[in-house]
């Protein structure tokens, strides 16, 4: 973790998950009670053996190496933003859902997509994203309790 003038930089862990190609022609219903993204993702521990190569027009789920904790009493939330060094290569770091809610504790899962034409080598430990903090108008009664609460790499 590195503190900059306006954000906290976070690095990439060695855990990557890529979507399984099995059943890719079947529609996915994320609103149904039976839906589970883990049923359609296969885990790839690429970082333990070396870097992960993100191909053009490909998607991978990755994690920050650092665990983050935003106490519910802090009146803070954060946004995950990409680093310009990767953005200029066409890599989106947190494609959607960038908000880290007050009360969150754990590693941050990154939704990475390569919009560019080049194969991009993702090295565990590289600076991959930054957290920009926002002050909320009040203290929440309860912290984030969604499906990904307490997630870890």
Domains of the chain listed by start with CATH number: 2-19+38-135 (2.70.40.10)
- Tell me the pairing of strands 52-54 and 41-44: unpaired
Q: pLDDT tens, 35-91?
A: 887 777 666 665 566 789 999 999 998 999 999 999 988 889 999 999 999 999 999
* Catalytic residue ranges: 111
Q: What is the pTM of this model?
A: 0.81
- Torsion angle, alpha carbons of 94, 99, 105, 109, to 10: -20
Helix, strand, or coil (residue 87): helix
Burial of 101 (0-12, 13-18, 19+ CB in 10 A): middle
């Amino acid at each position: 973790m590195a503190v900059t003038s306006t954000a906290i930089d976070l690095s990439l862990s060695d855990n990557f998950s890529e979507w399984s190609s099995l059943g890719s022609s079947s529609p996915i219903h994320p609103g149904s009670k039976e839906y589970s993204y883990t049923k359609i993702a296969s885990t790839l521990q690429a970082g333990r053996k070396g870097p992960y190569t993100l191909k053009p027009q490909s998607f991978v789920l990755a994690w920050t190496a650092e665990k983050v904790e935003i106490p519910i009493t802090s009146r803070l939330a954060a946004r995950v933003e990409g680093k310009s060094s990767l953005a200029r290569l066409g890599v989106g770091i947190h494609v959607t859902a960038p908000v880290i809610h007050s009360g969150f504790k754990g590693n941050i899962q990154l939704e990475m997509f390569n919009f560019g034409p080049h194969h991009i080598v993702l090295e565990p430990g590289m600076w991959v994203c930054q957290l920009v903090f926002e002050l909320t108008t009040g203290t929440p009664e309860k912290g984030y309790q969604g499906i990904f609460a307490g997630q870890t790499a």
